[in-house]
Structure 1
Amino acid sequence: MEQLTDLKAILHSHRANIYYLEKCRVMQKDGRVLYLTEAEKQNQYWNIPIANTTCLLLGTGTSVTQAAMRMLAQAGVLVGFCGGGGTPLLMANEVEWLTPQSEYRPTEYLQGWLGFWFEEEKRLQVAKQFQQARLKFLNKVWASDKDLQNEGFNSKNTAVKAFLSEFNKKINQTEKVTKLFQLEAELTKKLYKFAAAATGQEGFSRQREAIDKTNAFLNHGNYLAYGLAATTLWVLGIPHGFAVMHGKTRRGALVFDVADLIKDTIILPWAFISAQENATEQEFRQQCLQSFTKHKALEFMFNEVKAAALAFEINNESNEL
C-alpha cells in the first residue's frame, strides 16, 4: 500500500510528462517502468518516471508487458496505442485508451455534470463558459509568452484584440449551441489567417489530410491536446460522451470540447512557427510539451472542468439557503 500511495503523490494536474515511444519494449524491472531500445551493439534501458507522467503514447513497433501495465495502472497513467508520430496513420483509426480500472474515484464531478447535462439551456451555458475561458487563456498566454511575441503572436496586437473582443460579445449573445459552434469555427479560421500572415504562409488552407508541415503539425499537436483532455476527464470521472458543444452522438466528443480550451492558444501558433522553421516532429512535440508545462495547461483544464461541473450545484445550494 505504501508503494501505491507514493506513485499517486503527484496530482495529475501538476504532472509534467507525456511520453511518445516507438520501436521499443516497455517493461517493469526492479520496481521501475523502463523502455528498452535495441542498439547495434547492446540494448539500452531508459527509465519512465511514472509518478510524474500523465499519459504514455505507444507508436509503431512497440510492446508492453503485463507487469509494466500493472505499475502504470497503479500510478494512474493513461496508456494509448497510436500510429507514427503520436497520431493515427489511417482515417477512423482512433487512439485506444486503456484506463486503470479503479472504482474508488470521487463521484462529485460526475454527479455535478449529469445534474445539468440533461437541460439544454444549462449545457449551452457551460459551452459558452468554455469558449470564454478559451479566449481568456489565449489573451493571457499571448500577452506573457516572450517566445510567441517574438514570432508575432501577441494578444496586445490591434487586430487580435479586435477579433477577440468581437467574438466575446457574440458568445454572450448566442442562444443556440449550433450558432456557438459556427462562431468557434469562425474564430479558429481568423486565427489561422493571422498565424499564416505572421509566419509568411499566406494562402494557407486547413486540411486534415494534407501533407504539408503546418497541417501535419496541427494534427499532431491536436492529439497531444486530446491526450490532456482525456486525462482530465478520466481523473474527474466524467465520461467522454457527455459533450456540451461537439456532436453528442460521438463517444469522445467531450474530449474535443475540453481540448479546445488550449488548442488555439498553444498548438496553433507553434504549428505555424515550427513549420516555418522546418522543425522535425520531435522538435515540434517537445515545444508543445514545454508550453503545456510553462503555462500550466493541464491545471487550467482541470480548473475549468471542475468549475463547470460544480457551478449549478453551488447555485442550487444558494437557492436552498
Structure 2
Amino acid sequence: MAVPGARPPDLPDLVRAQDRLTFIYLEKCSIHREANAITATEERGVMRIPAASLGALLLGPGTTVTQQAMLLMAESGSTVVWVGEEGVRYYAHGRSLSHSSRLLEAQARLMSNQSSRLRVAREMYAMRFPGEDTSGLTIQQLRGREGSRIRRAYRDHSNRTGVPWSRRDYDVAVFEASDPVNQALSAANTSLYGVVHSVIVALGCSPGLGFVHTGHARSFVYDIADLYKAELTIPLAFDLAAEAPFDIGSAARRALRDQFRGGAFLDRCVRDIRRLLLPDDGEEDATSGENIVYLWDGAQQNVAGATAYGTDG
C-alpha cells in the first residue's frame, strides 16, 4: 500500500549539520513553502530561504507558518525554534537530522556514571583553558576557575572598549530593563543557544542530558554554548555597546551570524560534541548511516530488527 504524501529525502541527500547555515531569525511575517525553499513574506516583499542548508530557523512574535513549510523543514532535517521577542525566550524546537542513536547512547552512558561524567566535565573545562592541566581538579575547583575566567573576560573587555560593567543582570520578561551590554549578551547568547541546540538535535543527542549543567531540558545546550561565550558573545556585546546601535538586540544577532559564517562554527561545534562523546571515533560523520532499527540482545550485542525470532509452538 502506497504511503500518502511526498516522500522524504534520503539521509545521504541532506546537507551535513556542519556544512549548513547557522540560523535565521524571523518575526512579523508569513512563512510558506515554494518548491524546496522557505519563503518569508512581509510588507517589504518576499525572502526565499534554502531549507536544506539551514541549521536553525528562529520564529519570533508575529510569525505564521504553514503546514507545508514545516513539512519541508522536517524533511530537510532543519530545526525550527519558537522564541519570544528579540529571541530572548525559548518555547519549542523541531526534529533531529540523524537516524543513528550512537551519540545519544554514548551521552547517556557517560552522563549516568559519576566517574565518566566528571571526565567529560573536565574535558569541557580543558577546552576553555588551553595549555592547562584539569585532570586532577574537582568539579568545584573547575567551576571556581571558570567563574574567575569569565569575570576577567568581562573586566578586560570593559577596559578595552571603555564600556562600564558591573555584573550580569537581566530580566527575561523586560528586555529593555537591562543595560546595553546585558541586552546584547542576552540576544547573542539566545542566538548561540539556538544554533547549538540545532546541532545537538541534528546529531541525535539529548539537549537535556548535561554534564556541568543539570536539571533543565537544555542542560547540554548550555554546556556546549559555554565553550564559546568568552570567545564570541562577550567581546561582541561590549563592542556593540560601545557602538550604541539603535536596536542592539537585532545588531547582536546579525553580528553573531556574520561571525558564524566566517568561522565555520557548525563544523567546530559538531567536532567538539563528537570529541566529548565519542573521542575514539575519529572524523566519522555521526549523522551518517542507514535507517536501521536493531534489537538489544544483552550486554553490548545487537541483532537485526524486522525479523521473526523463535519457532511456532
- The two structures have a TM-score, normalised by structure 2, of 0.79
The residue that corresponds to 1:56 in the other structure is 57
RMSD over equivalenced CA pairs, Å: 2.4
The residue that corresponds to 1:269 in the other structure is 235
The Cα offsets for residues 272-308 of structure 1, whole Å up to 9 and x where unpaired, read as 0011011233332111111122222221111111112
106 and 6 in structure 1: CA distance in 2 versus 1, 3 angstrom threshold: closer
For residue 60 of structure 1, report the CA deviation from its aligned partner. Answer: 1.1
CA distance in 2, matches of 1:204, 1:106: 46
25 and 122 in structure 1: CA distance in 2 versus 1, 3 angstrom threshold: same
For residue 205 of structure 1, report the CA deviation from its aligned partner. Answer: 2.1
SS at match of 2:58: strand
The Cα offsets for residues 192-245 of structure 1, whole Å up to 9 and x where unpaired, read as 111111110244322123521110010111111111221121122111221110
CA distance in 2, matches of 1:6, 1:172: 39
CA distance in 1, matches of 2:50, 2:217: 31
CA distance in 1, matches of 2:229, 2:262: 15
CA distance in 1, matches of 2:156, 2:170: 19
The residue that corresponds to 1:112 in the other structure is 106
For residues 36-47 of structure 1, what are the structure 2 equivalents within 5 Å?
36-39=41-44, 44-47=45-48
SS at match of 2:150: helix
Q: Paired residue for 2:255, among 271, 287, 298? A: 287
The residue that corresponds to 2:143 in the other structure is 181
For residues 182-221 of structure 1, what are the structure 2 equivalents within 5 Å?
182-209=144-171, 210-221=177-188
Contact 2:163 2:241 in 1 (8 A): no
The Cα offsets for residues 52-96 of structure 1, whole Å up to 9 and x where unpaired, read as 2111111111110001000011111111111121112xxxxx331
Q: Paired residue for 1:98, among 81, 94, 101? A: 94
For residue 125 of structure 1, report the CA deviation from its aligned partner. Answer: 1.2
Counterpart AA for 2:189: N
Unaligned runs of 5+ in 2: 1-5, 172-176, 283-313
Same amino acid, percent of matched pairs = 24
SS at match of 2:61: coil
Question: Which structure is larger by alpha-carbon Rg, 1 or 2?
Answer: 2
CA distance in 2, matches of 1:201, 1:174: 34
CA distance in 2, matches of 1:259, 1:310: 19
Counterpart AA for 2:162: G
CA distance in 2, matches of 1:7, 1:71: 16
CA distance in 2, matches of 1:25, 1:8: 28
CA distance in 1, matches of 2:88, 2:250: 13
The residue that corresponds to 2:194 in the other structure is 227
For residues 22-33 of structure 1, what are the structure 2 equivalents within 5 Å?
22-33=27-38
Unaligned runs of 5+ in 1: 89-93, 137-164, 315-321
Contact 1:130 1:304 in 2 (8 A): no
CA distance in 2, matches of 1:37, 1:249: 39
For residues 126-205 of structure 1, what are the structure 2 equivalents within 5 Å?
126-136=120-130, 168-169=132-133, 171-175=134-138, 177-205=139-167
For residue 312 of structure 1, report the CA deviation from its aligned partner. Answer: 7.2
For residue 7 of structure 1, report the CA deviation from its aligned partner. Answer: 9.6
For residue 127 of structure 1, report the CA deviation from its aligned partner. Answer: 1.1
Counterpart AA for 2:92: E
- The two structures have a TM-score, normalised by structure 1, of 0.77
| 1:18 paired to 2:23 | yes
CA distance in 1, matches of 2:12, 2:244: 39
Contact 1:7 1:75 in 2 (8 A): no
Q: Paired residue for 1:299, among 267, 271, 287? A: 267
7 and 23 in structure 1: CA distance in 2 versus 1, 3 angstrom threshold: farther
CA distance in 1, matches of 2:121, 2:11: 37
For residue 184 of structure 1, report the CA deviation from its aligned partner. Answer: 1.8
